[in-house]
């Protein structure tokens, strides 16, 4: 994609991102993908630690940064002094949304409290992403995504039953908090159309994780049922598992709905399974989950993966390979839907990354450029705020920018 990509639904919305690492910046990434103008504020000479985290290319550059900071403009600004805070207030006077993921009270110490910002920009929406939220006894605690995943209940249910809790291979807690933060920002934008006023969006990592925990709280409260780690399956949901093939691959088959199980039984050449009282209903299959998985595994192991998938898809049974990154690049469906795109930065370096989700038919947005250099847009943004070259020079000489 390029700066000439199709307009996004949030074109014209101005966002100032003061967060770092993942939770806050992922919110900024989502808004930027959909067309918002996201100005990322970073500390002079240091910048967001994500510039250095993760795998690096041959030049030593982070391969995480181009994705999390895509579509953003970077300025450097020292927010710990009055001069930098004054610049920030001028910037925020023209903004629709502020994203920050510092500990509660940090903005207030920097003379950037919501109340002060609303004095000159009452419509500003302030998105605050933290580990535990802005209130409550845990609010002052430092909170990483991993802690939110643990306290929100996800870690306890992740992994094999005979091993300690595991984790997903991504920072899912941070990303969930950023996603809910973006949802809250959009809801607040809509509310502002009626009230004319902004509000605070309080996105806590542990609550974002908790929101994904389905009926686990209800089950415990009602019948004292505690979900446990179950590895590759969900208890009583059958068949839905990873099954072996003759060529050593693994295919995920999900046929737990009654109508879909009938189709699977037909594909297996065992239509009688769908009327057998042991397997005919969702409840019955759940009670005989292990037994049923054994039957399907014995059948699937007779076929190579490609042949098995052709049979399943031809019969209308949901199934798929367990993909790695290299498999995604080779898949014709990913190619046809442009699910993976390439974006360049100002240095001309190109990076592959996932495309924008979800897809809007008329205003899809896009990946216009990858993560910027530190302070790349400082002069541009400050000029737009009315600072002339001499004033910008003074700020730079004073190490404000």
Quick: pLDDT tens for 82-130.
999 999 999 999 999 999 999 999 999 999 999 999 999 999 999 999 9
Q: Is the pLDDT of residue 182 over 70?
A: yes
The domain locations on the chain are 14-212+335-397, 240-323
Structure confidence at residue 4 (pLDDT): 58
pLDDT digits (tens, 9 = 90+) for 195-242: 999 999 999 999 999 999 999 999 999 999 999 999 999 999 999 999
CB 313 within 8 A of CB 321: no
3-state secondary structure of 116: helix
Structure confidence at residue 207 (pLDDT): 98
3-state secondary structure of 278: coil
Which tokens sit at 231?
């590895």
3-state secondary structure of 171: coil
pLDDT digits (tens, 9 = 90+) for 17-42: 998 999 999 999 999 999 999 999 99
Of the pLDDT bands very low, low, confident and very high (cuts 50, 70, 90), residue 7 is confident
CB 287 within 8 A of CB 293: no
3-state secondary structure of 130: strand
pLDDT digits (tens, 9 = 90+) for 130-158: 999 999 999 999 999 999 999 999 999 99
The radius of gyration computed from the CA coordinates of the chain, to the nearest angstrom, equals: 25
Q: Is the pLDDT of residue 5 over 80?
A: no
Structure confidence at residue 60 (pLDDT): 87
Sheet containing strand 14-17, strands side by side: 72-76, 37-42, 14-17, 97-100, 125-130, 200-204
Of the pLDDT bands very low, low, confident and very high (cuts 50, 70, 90), residue 1 is very low
CB 59 within 8 A of CB 80: no
Secondary structure element (H or E) that encloses residue 351, with its range: strand 350-354
Structure confidence at residue 145 (pLDDT): 96
Quick one: CA torsion of 186, 191, 197, 203, rounded to 10 degrees?
Answer: -50
Bridge partner residues of 253 (DSSP): 241, 319
Residue 68 dihedral angles phi and psi, to the nearest 5°: -65, -25
Q: Name the CATH code of domain 240-323 (choices 3.30.450.40, 3.30.1540.10, 2.60.40.10, 3.90.1150.10).
A: 3.30.1540.10
CA dihedral (57, 59, 62, 63) positive or negative = negative
How do the residues of the chain divide into helix, strand and coil, expressed in percent and rounded to 5? Answer: 40, 15, 45
Sort strands 250-254 and 319-321 into parallel, antiparallel or unpaired: antiparallel
Q: Which long-range contacts (CB under 8 A, 24 or more apart) does 276-281 make?
A: none
Which tokens sit at 244?
């072996």
Count of Cβ atoms closer than 10 Å to residue 305 Cβ: 18
Cα angle 78, 10, 349 (rounded to 5 degrees) comes to 60
Q: Which of 78, 100, 96 shows the shortest CA–CA distance to 87? A: 78
Q: Is the pLDDT of residue 3 over 60?
A: no
Which tokens sit at 208?
């974002």
pLDDT digits (tens, 9 = 90+) for 234-281: 999 999 999 999 999 999 999 999 999 999 999 999 999 999 999 999
How many helices and strands, by DSSP H and E, does the chain display? 17, 11
Domain 14-212+335-397: what homologous superfamily?
A: Crotonobetainyl-coa:carnitine coa-transferase; domain 1 (3.40.50.10540)
Structure confidence at residue 61 (pLDDT): 87
Q: What is the mean pLDDT of residues 189-198?
A: 98
Structure confidence at residue 59 (pLDDT): 84
Count of Cβ atoms closer than 10 Å to residue 234 Cβ: 16
Which residues, 6 or more positions from 145, have their beta carbon under 8 angstroms from its beta carbon? 22, 23, 171, 172, 173, 174, 175, 177, 205
CA 105 to chain centre: 25
Distance from C-alpha of 16 to C-alpha of 125, rounded to nearest angstrom: 10
Q: List, by residue number, the catalytic residues.
A: 174
pLDDT digits (tens, 9 = 90+) for 38-88: 999 999 999 999 999 999 998 888 999 999 999 999 999 999 999 999 999
Structure confidence at residue 283 (pLDDT): 97
Of the pLDDT bands very low, low, confident and very high (cuts 50, 70, 90), residue 6 is confident
Which tokens sit at 65?
């940064």
Helical H segments across 121-257, by residue range: 145-151, 172-195, 205-210, 216-223
Which residues, 6 or more positions from 91, have their beta carbon under 8 angstroms from its beta carbon? 16, 39, 41, 381, 385
Cα angle 43, 182, 155 (rounded to 5 degrees) comes to 90
Helical H segments across 61-171, by residue range: 65-68, 82-93, 106-109, 114-120, 145-151
Distance from C-alpha of 237 to C-alpha of 118, rounded to nearest angstrom: 51
């Amino acid at each position: 994609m390029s700066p000439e990509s199709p307009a996004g639904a949030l074109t014209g919305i101005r966002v100032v991102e003061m967060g770092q690492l993942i939770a806050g910046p992922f919110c900024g990434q989502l808004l930027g993908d959909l067309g918002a103008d996201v100005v990322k504020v970073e500390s002079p000479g240091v910048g967001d630690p994500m510039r250095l985290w993760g795998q690096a290319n041959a030049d030593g550059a982070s391969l995480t940064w181009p994705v999390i900071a895509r579509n953003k403009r970077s300025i450097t600004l020292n927010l710990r002094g009055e001069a930098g805070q004054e610049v920030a207030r001028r910037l925020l006077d023209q903004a629709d949304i502020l994203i920050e993921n510092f500990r509660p009270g940090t903005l207030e110490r920097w003379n950037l409290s919501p109340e002060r910002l609303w004095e000159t920009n009452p419509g500003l929406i302030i998105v605050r992403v933290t580990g535990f939220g802005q209130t409550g006894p845990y609010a002052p605690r430092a909170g990483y995504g991993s802690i939110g995943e643990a306290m929100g209940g996800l870690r306890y249910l992740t992994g094999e039953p005979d091993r300690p809790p595991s984790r997903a291979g991504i920072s899912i807690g941070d990303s969930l908090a950023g996603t809910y933060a973006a949802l809250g920002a959009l809801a607040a934008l809509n509310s502002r159309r009626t009230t004319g006023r902004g509000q605070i969006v309080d996105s806590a990592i542990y609550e974002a994780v908790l929101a994904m925990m389905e009926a686990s709280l209800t089950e415990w409260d009602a019948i004292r049922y505690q979900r446990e780690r179950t590895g590759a399956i969900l208890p009583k949901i059958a068949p839905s598992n990873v099954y072996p093939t003759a060529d050593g691959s693994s295919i995920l088959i999900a046929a737990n709905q009654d109508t879909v199980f009938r189709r699977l039984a037909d594909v297996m050449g065992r239509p009688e399974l769908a009327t057998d009282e042991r397997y005919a209903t969702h409840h019955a299959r759940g009670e005989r989950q292990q037994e049923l998985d054994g039957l399907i595994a014995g059948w699937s192991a007779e076929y190579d993966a490609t042949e098995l998938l052709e049979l399943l898809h031809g019969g209308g049974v949901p199934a798929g390979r367990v993909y790695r990154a290299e498999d995604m690049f080779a898949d014709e469906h990913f190619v046809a839907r442009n699910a993976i795109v390439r974006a360049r930065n100002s240095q001309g370096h190109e990076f592959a990354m996932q495309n924008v989700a979800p897809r809007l038919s008329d205003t899809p947005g896009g990946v216009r450029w990858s993560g910027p250099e530190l302070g790349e847009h400082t002069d541009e943004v400050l000029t737009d705020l009315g600072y002339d070259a001499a004033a910008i020079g003074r700020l730079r000489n004073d190490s404000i920018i």
